[in-house]
Amino acid sequence: MHKTIDFPNLGIHLKNVGNHISIGGFDIAFYGIIIGLGILAGILIAAAEAKRTKQNSETYFDLTLYAVVFAIIGARAYYVVFSWNMYKNDLKSILNIREGGLAIYGGVIAAVITVVVFAKVKKLSAAVLFDTASLGLVAGQMIGRWGNFFNREAFGEYTNGLFAMKLPTDAVRPSDITDLMRRHMQYKNGTSYIQVHPTFLYESLWCLMVLFIMLLYRRHKKFNGEVFLVYLFGYGLGRVWIEGLRTDQLLFPGTSIPVSQVLAGALVIVSASLIIFWHIRQKRMENEQVVQEKEQNNRENY
pLDDT digits (tens, 9 = 90+) for 120-135: 999 999 999 999 999 9
Q: What residues are paired with 167 via a beta bridge?
A: 194
Q: Average pLDDT of 143-169?
A: 95
Say what the pLDDT of residue 234 is.
Answer: 97
What is the greatest pairwise CA distance in the chain?
95
Write phi, then psi, for 177 (nearest 5 degrees).
Answer: -90, 120
In the chain, the number of structural domains is 1
| Residue 165: domain span | 5-301
pLDDT digits (tens, 9 = 90+) for 244-283: 999 888 888 888 899 999 999 999 999 999 999 998 988 8
Please compute Rg for the chain using Cα positions.
23
How far apart CA 259 and CA 270 sit, in angstroms, is 17
pTM of the model: 0.89
Alpha-carbon span 194 to 173, nearest angstrom: 12
Q: Identify the band that residue 288 occupies on the pLDDT scale cut at 50, 70 and 90.
A: confident
Rounded to 5 degrees, what angle do the CA atoms 95, 171, 184 make? Answer: 130
User: Taking residues 19-41, what's their average pLDDT?
Assistant: 90
The response to whether 183 counts as a known ligand-binding position is no
- Local confidence band at 96 (pLDDT 50, 70, 90 cut-offs): confident
Residues 6+ apart with CB under 8 A from 233: 267, 268, 271, 272, 275
